Chains A and B, each alone.
Chain A
Amino acid sequence: MEWIVLLLAAVLLPVFPLSWIFNRLIGSAPGPWGRALAILVLPQLGVLLLYHTGPLALLLLPLSLQRIWLMLVLFTSVFYAFRAVSAREISIWSRLMASSGLTLSWLLVANGAQVHSVALFVLALSLPAALLMIWAGMLSDRMGGAYLGLQGGLATVLPRLSALITLSALALVATPIFPSFFGLLQVFHRLDLAWLWPLLLLLLIWGWSAGRFLQDLLFGIYRGEPMVDLGLGITWAGAVVLFFFALSGLIWSGAWTGI
C-alpha cells in the first residue's frame, strides 16, 4: 500500500521517470484554463495523498532507499530545469520549470515539514506556472502559438501581456520577493549542508533558463501582423493577483521559509 501511495505521489509531485506522466497529464488538459487548473490541483492532491493516507510513505522506506529517493528528486529537479532552458513554448517552459520546482517538495517531506508548509511551497510554484499557462493561451489566441523567439520585440506590441508573462516567469524562478524565493529558502534551511550543492546548480540553471526566456520575449523588433494587447480589466486582474502573491511572500515570509 505504501508503495502505491508513494508512486502515485511521485506522479503528482513529479519525480523522474514518473514525472513524464505528470507532464503528459498537464499537457493534455483541455485549453489553457484546464492546464492552469491541472497544475494548481494535481500537486496539491499529491500533498494530500502523502499526508492523509496514513503514515508518510517516504519515511517508511529504509534509510538507504530514502537517500536514493532524495537523490532522484534532486536529479529530477536539475534535469527538468536543464530541459526547460531550450524550451521556447511558454506552456511547455512553465510545466518543465514547475516540474523542476515541485519535485523539491519531497525534500521538505523527508525533513519533517508540516503539511501546510509543503502545501504552501507547492502553491508558491504552481500558481505562477498556472498564470503562465493562461498568458500562453492569450498569446496563442493572438499569434497562433505561444512560441518565443520566432517574433522578436513582443514587449513593444504587447506591453501588458509581456509584463504579466515576465512577472509570472520571475515568480516561478524564485525571484525575491515572491513566495517561491522564501519557499526555496525553506528547502535550503531544512537540508543538511552537504545536500545544498545540487540546489546551487539548480539556482544557476533557473537563472539561465529565465534569462533566455525573457531575452526571447522582450528584445528585438516585431515584424509581424498588428496585434491587440490585453484589455485593461484582465491586465489589472493579473497585476493584482501577482501583487498580492508577492505581498503574501513579503508579509508571511515566516510561513514560507519555515524559520
Chain B
Amino acid sequence: MDPLAIIVPFVPALAALLIFAVLRHSKPGAARLSVLATLVTFLLSLILLGNYVAVGLPRVEYIGQIWGSIWLDPLTLIMWAFVSGISLLVHMYSVRYMIEEPNYPRFFAMLDLMTATILFMVSAADLITLLVAWFLVGVLLYFLLGHDTDRPASGRYAFWTQITYRVGDLPLWLAAFILYKSYHSLALPVIFAQIAAAPNAVQIWGMTVPAWTGILVALAAFARSAQFLLHGWLPYTMDGPTPVSALMHAGIVNAGGFLFNRFAPIFEYTGLALHIAFVVGLITAVVGSALMLIQNDVKRSLGYSTMGQMGFMVMECGLGAFPLAVFHLIAHGFFKASLFLGAGNAIGDARANDGVPPDPIYVYIVERRPTKPLRLPWLTAAALTILVPVLVLSLSHFFVATHLFFEQGVIVLLFFAWVTGAQALFAAHKMTHTNPWQLMGGILGSFVLVVIGYTLISHYFARFLYSHEASLRLYASASIGILSYEVLMIILALLFVGGWVLTFFGDAQNLGERISQRWQGGYLAIYALLSRELYINDLYVRVTQLLLSASRRLNVWLRWS
C-alpha cells in the first residue's frame, strides 16, 4: 500500500471536518487551513504524476474491503493534478472575494469536501466508490450554488442543477448494476479485463453488455456535461458565488469527458454509444454557440459558451478521440477559470477606463464617423483563409501521428479544425487595420503556433493515456460505413461552404435586412425562440407544475395519509 497515494483525497476531506468541528467561527483560520490543505493536495498530486511518468505502472490501492479502492492510472493522476490545481486557484481567489459573505468558514469546508469528492470520483476503481462520489458531487454542488440563502433565485437554480444531476445519476446506477450482475465483480479493472477477453459474451435485452453500458454511461455524461435537452441548468449556475461558477465551469461540468475516458475500455467494443455521443455533441455545440451569440447577459453568454465547449468535448469522444477530450477539458478548464476569476478585474478596469483603442472600428461604431476600411485583396485573403489551415493542420498531424491519419474520427476532427481555422482567418480579414498585412501575419503566426502546440500536446497526451492498440480500437469503434461517412462529410462540407457563401452575400447585399423586412413575422419568431432559450426550461417548469398539482390533488383525496 502506498500511503502517499491514499492520503491525497483525504487531505481536503480532513480539512473540511476540522473546519466544521473547530474552526466554524474563525474566518482566517478556516481559509488558511483550507488553502494549505489544497496546496498540499496539489503538490502530492504533482509528485505522484511525476513519479508515474518516471517509473510508474498503473495499480489499485484498497482502503475498504468491499469498496473504497483507488485506481492509480494515468487518467487518475492527470485528473488529480488538474482538479487540485483548479481547486487551489479557486480557494486562493475565494479568500478575499468571499470575506464579507456570511458563512465564510462553511464555504471553505464545502469547497474542501467538493474537492475531496471529485478526487475520489476520478480515482474510483470500483463501482460503489464511483456511485458514492458521483452522487455526492451533485449534493455538494447544490449547497455550494445555494450558498447565498437570502436569494430565492440561487435556491431555484441550485435545485435545477441538482435535479438534472439526479437524472444523470440514474443511467450510471443502471450501468453499474448491469456490469456487476454480468461480470460478478465490483472492481473496474476486473470488469474491463473480462470485457476485453470476451466483449460479446454477455447479452441482455437483445444487446451486448458493452453496448448497453456504453449508452447508459454516455447518458450519465450528457447530464453532467450539459448536453442538449439536459443543459437548462448550466447558464443559470451563475447565480451562485463567482468562485463556485469558476469551479463549476472549469471543473465539475467536465465530468462527462472524464466518464467517457474512465469507461473507454467499454467503448472500444461498442460503436452505437459513440455515434449517439457524436450527434448529441454536435447538436449541443451548435445550439450552445447559437444561444451564446444571442444572449444580452454576459454571464449567461459565458454559460452557453461552456455548453458549446462541452458539446465539442463529447463530440471528440464520439469520434474516438478520447485523449483529446481530456486535453480539451483541461485546456477549457484553465481558460474558463481565468475568465471567471478575472471577471471582477475586467469590470473594475472597464469602469475606470473603457480601454477601447481609437482604431477605425471604434471610430465607426462608437463615434459613428465614416472610415475607410483597409483590407487585404479579396483573392489573397480567400487563398490564405482556405489554404493555410489545410496545410498547417495536415503537416502538423502528419509529423506526429501518421498512423492515425486515415482514421475517420481524425479526418472529421481535422475537418472541423480546418473550418474553425478558416473562420478565424476570415474574421481577421473582415477587421480593419492600418496595416492589414501585419494583422494577417500576426493571426497566421498565432494560428501556426496554436495548431502545432495543440497537435503535439494532444499527441503526447494520447501516448500517455492509451496504448497504441487501444487508440486504434477506439477510432475503429467510432467509425461508420464508408458510404455513410462520405455522405456525412459531403453534407458537412456543403453546410459550411453554404454558410460562408451566405455570410459573404449577406454582408455584400445587405441580405439580413431584406429578409427581416420581407419575413418579419418568421424572423421575430426565430428570435423569440432563441432568446427564450428554445422554451426548453419553460416546458420543464410547466410539466413540473402539472405534476405538482396532481400530487396535491392525490394528497387531498387521501387526506394526507
Residue ranges of A at the interface with B (Cβ–Cβ < 8 Å): 20, 23-24, 27, 82-83, 85-87, 92, 96, 152-153, 155-156, 170, 175-177, 181, 185, 188-189, 193, 196, 200, 203-204, 207-208, 211-212, 214-215, 218-221, 253-254, 257, 259
B304 beta carbon closer than 8 Å to chain A: no
Chain B contacts for A153, CB-based, 8 A: 149-150
Question: Contacts A23-B561, A215-B156; is A203 near B173 (CB within 8 Å)?
Answer: yes
CB pair B150 A156 closer than 8 Å: yes
Contact of B186 among A83, A156, A188, A259 (CB under 8 A): A259
**Quick one: closest A residue to B139, CB to CB?**
A175
B52 beta carbon closer than 8 Å to chain A: no
CB pair B177 A203 closer than 8 Å: no
Contact of B65 among A20, A83, A254 (CB under 8 A): A254
In the complex, 23 of the A-B residue pairs with CB atoms within 8 angstroms, ordered by the A residue number, are: A27-B561, A82-B547, A85-B548, A85-B551, A86-B551, A153-B150, A175-B135, A175-B139, A176-B131, A176-B136, A189-B180, A193-B177, A193-B178, A196-B177, A204-B170, A208-B163, A208-B166, A211-B166, A218-B149, A219-B150, A219-B151, A219-B154, A221-B150
CA distance A96 to B542 in the complex (A): 24
Chain B contacts for A155, CB-based, 8 A: 149
CA distance A211 to B143 in the complex (A): 11
Contact of B551 among A82, A175, A177, A214 (CB under 8 A): A82
CB pair B548 A86 closer than 8 Å: yes
**Quick one: closest A residue to B178, CB to CB?**
A193
B67 beta carbon closer than 8 Å to chain A: yes
Residue ranges of B at the interface with A (Cβ–Cβ < 8 Å): 64-67, 128, 131-133, 135-136, 139, 142, 146, 149-152, 154-156, 158-159, 162-163, 166-167, 169-170, 173-174, 177-178, 180-181, 186, 204, 547-548, 551-552, 554-555, 558, 560-561
Q: Pick the 7 closest A-B CB pairs, nearest first.
A: A219-B155, A207-B166, A23-B561, A86-B551, A176-B132, A86-B552, A200-B170
Question: Contacts A83-B551, A189-B177, A193-B178; is A203 near B169 (CB within 8 Å)?
Answer: yes
CA distance A24 to B133 in the complex (A): 38
Chain A contacts for B156, CB-based, 8 A: 215, 219
**Quick one: closest B residue to A166, CB to CB?**
B143
CA distance A119 to B341 in the complex (A): 51
CA distance A48 to B561 in the complex (A): 24
What distance in Å separates the Cβ of B64 from its nearest Cβ neighbour in chain A?
A: 7
What distance in Å separates the Cβ of A218 from its nearest Cβ neighbour in chain B?
A: 5
What distance in Å separates the Cβ of A212 from its nearest Cβ neighbour in chain B?
A: 7
Question: Contacts A156-B149, A193-B177, A219-B154; is A83 near B132 (CB within 8 Å)?
Answer: no
CA distance A96 to B551 in the complex (A): 12
Chain B contacts for A96, CB-based, 8 A: 560
Question: Contacts A218-B149, A218-B155, A219-B155; is A253 near B67 (CB within 8 Å)?
Answer: yes
- Chain A CB within 10 Å, residue with most, of B152, B162, B561: B561
CB pair A218 B163 closer than 8 Å: no
CA distance A176 to B146 in the complex (A): 20
CB pair A259 B66 closer than 8 Å: yes
Chain A contacts for B552, CB-based, 8 A: 86
Contact of B139 among A27, A92, A170, A218 (CB under 8 A): A170
CB pair A92 B170 closer than 8 Å: no
CA distance A200 to B216 in the complex (A): 13
What distance in Å separates the Cβ of A22 from its nearest Cβ neighbour in chain B?
A: 8
CA distance A65 to B180 in the complex (A): 29
